Amino acid sequence: MEKINQWFSKHVRFIYSPFRELVTSLHVLNNPSHHLTRLDWAVQTKGNMSSSLWDTACYFGELSNEWLNFLDLVDVLQYEEKHVEEAIERINLLKENEFLSLLLGMRTDIPLEESTSAEVEVRSNPSYYREKLCDFLYSYHQKHFARELFRVEPWLIKAVHEIKNHFAQDPFGTMNSIHPRFKLDTRMLKFFKADTWVFRYEEINTLTIYPSSFIAPHLLVGMEVPEIIVYLQVPLPDEFVEDAVPDDLLCILSALSDKSRLQILKLLYHHSYCTQQLTDLTSLARATISKHLKILEKANLIKGERHGYFVFYKANEKTLDQLKVDINQYFDQTFIGHKEDK
């Protein structure tokens, strides 16, 4: 244990980054349903934003995988412990290829024919969209986020000091308290998400922990070996975790609660079929099949594609893969939303 504690002391760092907190808040605005402690904030902030600013937030959110691309990457901006404005200025100074990597993430180098129309636009004129993004970030920060940062910053800084103190006393125990699905032993660290990710310590140069008041219930990580990033949820004194299920999770579970729909989804997981074919395969009436397909499609569990007179349906594997993560996050909420001990 002494050896692994020495490794932690050498390779682990705890950093408060105001800019990362801003980007995390944009992720919550883009998809607030699972962030139960931040639902009220998201509704109020969105209501106060102009339509043009909101449209720009959605535009860049779609390009950046709901802003997660900014959070997963290593510190190419060198924005650790920097003011928000300084980090934005660093984005403005990025080379075009660096900016595209920051914004598009893993989709930066895909062929143009596989890119979305928005991705093609950005790749055709990176300088213009870099400036547009920076203008948006300045406006969002000044008009909406600065007041919230002023409110939460003392708690985030306090969290960094406290976890550093705990870490000095018990490095191994402190690291295993970061998140219920982030576990470490004497040889490796593991992230339990849709898949299990395992990294041996010898693969890692730095393991950086960033505190955030927005991140719950995600186990949000940047797994760019050898620089690993993990976000630590910092609960706020006035937070209240509602006794509620995220709407999109409830919609999916409701869609799966019927035996016939579950059987149809299993068929569509292995092959695409149209309504007529599903009628033959299940012995259900065509009207009944259509009703079940509408429910599955509304829950984003299947996708339809028209071929001539027929619409062929296929299971949405991305939604099914994410389901396990969403269920884990729902149950995690209690454990990562604990309050300060009295």
Tell me: do 133 and 32 sit in the same domain.
Answer: yes
Return the DSSP state at 106. G
Residues 234 and 254 in one domain: no
Number of domains in the chain: 2
Please determine, for residue 340, whether its predicted confidence score (pLDDT) is greater than 50.
no
User: Are residues 151 and 209 both part of a single domain?
Assistant: yes
Instruction: State whether residue 229 is helix, strand or coil.
Output: strand
Q: Considering the chain, what is the average pLDDT of its residues? A: 88
Question: In the listed set 217, 241, 265, which residue is the last one of a domain according to the structure?
Answer: 241
Predicted TM-score of the model (pTM): 0.77
Query: Considering Cα of 74, then 80, then 82, then 84, what sign does the dihedral take?
Result: positive
- 261 assigned to some structural domain: yes
Which sign does the torsion angle of CA 107, 111, 114, 119 carry?
Answer: positive
Residue range 319-334, pLDDT digits in tens? 888 788 778 777 766 5
If asked whether residues 133 and 221 sit together in one domain, one would say yes
What confidence score (pLDDT) does residue 295 get? 95
Average pLDDT over every residue of 181-197: 85
The residues, any chain, with a CB within 8 Å of residue 252's CB and separated by 6 or more, are 299, 300, 301, 319, 323, 326
Q: Is residue 21 part of a domain?
A: yes
Range of the domain at 270: 247-321
Looking at the fold, whether 173 and 292 belong to one and the same domain comes out as no
% of residues, the chain, pLDDT over 70:
91
Tell me the residue type at 152.
V
Q: Rounded distance, CA 326 to CA 81, Å?
A: 31
Question: How many angstroms separate the CA atoms of 270 and 154, rounded?
Answer: 52
pLDDT of residue 326: 78
Q: Are residues 84 and 14 in the same domain?
A: yes
Note the Cα 58 to chain centre separation in Å: 15
